[in-house]
Structure 1
Amino acid sequence: MLLLSGCAVGPDYHPQSGASLGVPQQYSVAADEQPRADLTHWWTSFNDPLLTQLVGSAEATNLDVAQALTRLRQARESLVQSRASLLPSLSASGTVSRNQNLRGGTSTYTLPDGTVTSITTGNSTSFSIGADASYQADLFGGNLRSVQAARASLAASGYNYADVLITVQGEIARNYILARLYQAQLTNARNALSIQDDNLQIAQWRVQAGLVSSLDQEQARQQRAQTAATIPSLENSYNQAVSRLGVLTGQAPGALKTEMEKKEPIPQGPSDIAVGIPADTLRQRPDVRAAERDLAAATAQIGVAKAQLFPQFNIGGSIDSSANALSSLTNIITGRLFATIAQTIFDGGRQRAQVRSNEAAAQGAFYNYKQTVLSALEDVENGITALDTAEQRERDYTTALNAANNAAILSRSQYRAGLTDFTTLNQAESALLSAANSLSQARADRANALIQLYGALGGGWQSDTAPTTPLDQTTTNGKR
């Protein structure tokens, strides 16, 4: 039996090759393939102290992350339970019973043959102790495969925890960028409103002087009202972004309004990122590593199901002793030893169907693994393209804003001098506000593209060790 217990039915898990997963040697878009820098704390590259504080606090404060940590703890305890099946179980019991005659004394009885006898009644106490032991010999490795599956599931839960953490970090950063974008657009609208107030005043003076018709005045009023109408909407969007930041950091919606009140520019971050090669991404992405561990767990579950097709062998024993006094408990000890073997003869094909079901589950886990790999590479390429596009748009809108500002200054001067009509000034002012908002949006898009790329590359966690619970002492392989 000891020799057989080293065997385990079912397939052994082997890591998949890059070719079987469809991993290319390099990305299909232009990318810096230099070795990547440490992305563990990518948010510090934006050089924004408040952003660094908020994103850095996600691990300790966010409630989604806390929930993922509890799932990781559950997986750790499931592994402990699975390991317990490899060991024998032992139980012990003890009883004390006391019989007491409340009346006591001597009772006289007449037997059927006429004989008179006396019986003295009183109190008595008895003691008993016992122990039972049982062990299921893992002849065909079903319990061993179960432990392998639990160990892989624990590692997958750790990587899922890291994936949730990365997602939350990105969401905090994106909402922070949104809040700064709305602040910038509010500033643009208020600056434009101030200028439009001056334009309306000038138009009123020119109408009063008889230099122009009231059409100029009405156009000026219309332009000012339209600009003023955008401010409440922007304020609402800003408040929503700040409230979301509060909830994402485990606080009340309004907790960060004071800290965010001071206007700050939209963080820009570094000009480029070395993304490495596709294989680097797969090692860094926790969702990819979680999918790989899910495949390992599903493969082990095939062995668990197959072991049920073979005989189950159990051995056990018990010892018992009873006496009327504690000092006499060891006088007589009885014991028994037993062994049982059980084999399913007929179950309507249930167990074999379970094997086939687990095999199908493993095949599905492989497809999910491959899909996760390809989606990860897609995320990186989309992030690279989004960053390049945002940088180009930022350059173009910078030029557009400069031209629109010059045109607005010239139109304003000419209108005040009576050299042009208000329609031309109105168009120039509208173009200036649009260009300013577009440049702010482009800068926010570039910052969000950086955040997207950092997330796609798997930044935000220590990828060289599997995440564990604070009380867990597992190693990078999930073994104690």
Structure 2
Amino acid sequence: MKRLRSPIMPLGLGLLVAGCAAGPDYRQPPQSTLGVPDSYSVEAEPAQAADLTRWWTNFDDPLLQSLVASAGDGNLDVAQAVTRLRQARAALVSSRAALLPSLSVSGNYSRNENIAGGTSTYTLPDGTVTTISRGSGDSFSLGADASYQADIFGGNRRAVEASRADLEASGFDVASVLISVEGEIARNYVLARLYQAQLANARQALAIQDDNLEIAGFRVQAGLVSSVDQEQARQQRAQTAATIPSLENSYNQAVSRLGVLTGRPPGALKQEMAEKKPIPTGPGTVAVGIPAELLRRRPDIRQAERNLAAATARIGVAAAQLYPALNLGGSIDTNATSFTDLTEIITGNVFARIAQTLFDGGRLRAQVRSNEAAAQGAFYNYKQTVLTGLEDVETAVVALRTAREREEQYTIALDAANNAAILARSQYRAGLTDFTTLNQAESALLNAANSLSQARADKANALIQLYGALGGGWGEVVPTPDLPPASFTETTLQDR
């Protein structure tokens, strides 16, 4: 079978020995291999995006700002991501330990007691008679052992390199989860305000339709119209009334979701959200910069790049197993019948051992090939994450533009529908038009009001989507390998 040439080989991911460390040295892939264009394919503001660390402050809604800002404090998805970060930190410490020698010490004390006591008399070969007392005896011993595996071919150093990249990737994972949670909180808040607006529209329409039903009833009693008008009015009112429970259910779901997202019970925010407020609005324009800037701003892209670095280092870990292993060691011991005599006689030994696998059925080489394939997969994931990020930005830019256009047109439509409904209502009361015309005008008014509310919600959600696509919502909070344990949670999440 013909072997396919790896597309990663130009990136330096082949099995090469670099200096004394087995495996390839990692180099970040150039933008040309990632498919990053010079500009976006949609019309977008090319100026560099401003600091989007706290993008929610761009909305004119203090409660929204407060809820999104609390994402890092109570959300349990973020808390789980932080625990993964701590695991990665511990793994790095464990990997570093392999570069150092191990030392163990031991001590022992024993005492022999002769319960019977007494003495024993012995005659020596030369005829001399001696007496030995059968009493108690002490025994002391101390020992120390040291061992060290010489990292001649860099397998342990590559393991540390992989663990360090894993730690950095875990830090970016925390940031990615944080961005996702912030966006979900904002979207559910917008949904809740949308349902409030639609509920207000439905209740306002229901009040008008109550009047229409009453007027239709008077006109039927007066013999001016048939009972068809009254039945049509009753039907329209019932259909409008039926939408209210559904909207109330959707509103309750959005508010309950907000509570859980902020680490509280589902009903924790119902009182705060009870007062009807408008759908939040943001700035008129958002600068998006150039595509290349996403490689620095989006934590998911930086996480994928760190995963690629870790996978590349693990090729060296596996490759080092193909070479001889040198182990050095030594021990030192002493024993005596009294503690003060321990230093009189000291023994020790030093050893060195070289081991080389001669035959394992191809297991070690297969592990190298497996790690090479994993690195290739990590590269493909990195490239896909970059392209997906570019897609997210372009999708959000178009969604924001079209939502604004719809908002403008629905504003006009609502004004026209309101005027038409007023005229139709006045003409019906004067007997100048039929109820069907009034019914159509009232339905058009309700639809226009709901459509305008939906367009405003879509515009707010498109802004939220764009901020997230640009990598907003996190700062440079990724820990370095030398930070002490638990400092990430204390100094970054609680400061938000």
TM-score class normalised by the smaller sequence:
over 0.9
Distance between the aligned counterparts of 2:484 and 2:22, measured in 1?
Answer: 35
Residue of structure 1 equivalent to 2:267: 254
Residue of structure 1 equivalent to 2:173: 160
Amino acid at match of 1:142: G
Residue of structure 1 equivalent to 2:288: 275
Per the alignment, do residues 360 and 217 of structure 1 end up closer, same or farther by CA in structure 2, a change over 3 Å counting? same
Retained in 2: the 8 A contact 1:131–1:320?
yes
The reply to whether residue 314 of structure 1 matches residue 327 of structure 2 is yes
Residue of structure 1 equivalent to 2:368: 355
Q: 2:36 aligns with which of 6, 23, 37?
A: 23
> Residue 265 of structure 2: SS of its match in structure 1?
coil
Retained in 1: the 8 A contact 2:18–2:24?
no
Distance between the aligned counterparts of 2:306 and 2:212, measured in 1?
Answer: 66
> Residue 135 of structure 2: SS of its match in structure 1?
strand
Retained in 1: the 8 A contact 2:162–2:311?
yes
Residues 344-365 of structure 1: CA deviation (Å, up to 9, x unaligned): 0110000011111111111111
Residue of structure 2 equivalent to 1:225: 238
- Range that drifts further, 117-126 or 213-222: 117-126
| 1:211 shift after superposition | 1.2
Amino acid at match of 1:321: T
**TM-score normalized with structure 1 length:** 0.94
The reply to whether residue 471 of structure 1 matches residue 485 of structure 2 is yes
Per the alignment, do residues 108 and 261 of structure 1 end up closer, same or farther by CA in structure 2, a change over 3 Å counting? farther
Distance between the aligned counterparts of 1:221 and 1:327, measured in 2?
Answer: 108
> Residue 160 of structure 1: SS of its match in structure 2?
helix
Residue of structure 2 equivalent to 1:12: 25
Residue of structure 2 equivalent to 1:196: 209
Distance between the aligned counterparts of 2:44 and 2:18, measured in 1?
Answer: 52
The reply to whether residue 87 of structure 1 matches residue 109 of structure 2 is no
Retained in 2: the 8 A contact 1:6–1:139?
no
| 1:127 shift after superposition | 1.2
Residue of structure 1 equivalent to 2:191: 178
| 1:47 shift after superposition | 2.0
Distance between the aligned counterparts of 2:274 and 2:59, measured in 1?
Answer: 19
Amino acid at match of 2:466: L
Distance between the aligned counterparts of 2:196 and 2:117, measured in 1?
Answer: 94
| 1:108 shift after superposition | 8.7
Residue of structure 2 equivalent to 1:384: 397
Retained in 2: the 8 A contact 1:5–1:137?
no
Retained in 1: the 8 A contact 2:89–2:485?
no
Q: 1:74 aligns with which of 87, 97, 114?
A: 87
Matched residues, number: 467
Amino acid at match of 2:265: A
Distance between the aligned counterparts of 2:68 and 2:484, measured in 1?
Answer: 21
| 1:471 shift after superposition | 3.1
Residue of structure 1 equivalent to 2:347: 334
Structure 1 stretches of 5 or more lacking a match? 111-115, 475-480
Per the alignment, do residues 281 and 372 of structure 1 end up closer, same or farther by CA in structure 2, a change over 3 Å counting? same
Residue of structure 2 equivalent to 1:264: 277
Residues 361-414 of structure 1: CA deviation (Å, up to 9, x unaligned): 111111111111111101100010111111111111111111110010000001
Per the alignment, do residues 138 and 21 of structure 1 end up closer, same or farther by CA in structure 2, a change over 3 Å counting? same
**TM-score normalized with structure 2 length:** 0.91
Retained in 2: the 8 A contact 1:5–1:138?
no
Residues 395-450 of structure 1: CA deviation (Å, up to 9, x unaligned): 11111111110010000001111111111111111110111011101100110001
Distance between the aligned counterparts of 1:159 and 1:194, measured in 2?
Answer: 53
Retained in 2: the 8 A contact 1:5–1:141?
no
Runs of 4+ with >6 A deviation: 107-110, 116-119
> Residue 23 of structure 2: SS of its match in structure 1?
coil
Distance between the aligned counterparts of 1:119 and 1:217, measured in 2?
Answer: 128
Per the alignment, do residues 239 and 470 of structure 1 end up closer, same or farther by CA in structure 2, a change over 3 Å counting? farther
Amino acid at match of 2:247: L
Distance between the aligned counterparts of 2:93 and 2:457, measured in 1?
Answer: 48
Structure 2 stretches of 5 or more lacking a match? 1-16, 124-128, 489-496
Per the alignment, do residues 436 and 305 of structure 1 end up closer, same or farther by CA in structure 2, a change over 3 Å counting? same
Distance between the aligned counterparts of 1:211 and 1:187, measured in 2?
Answer: 33
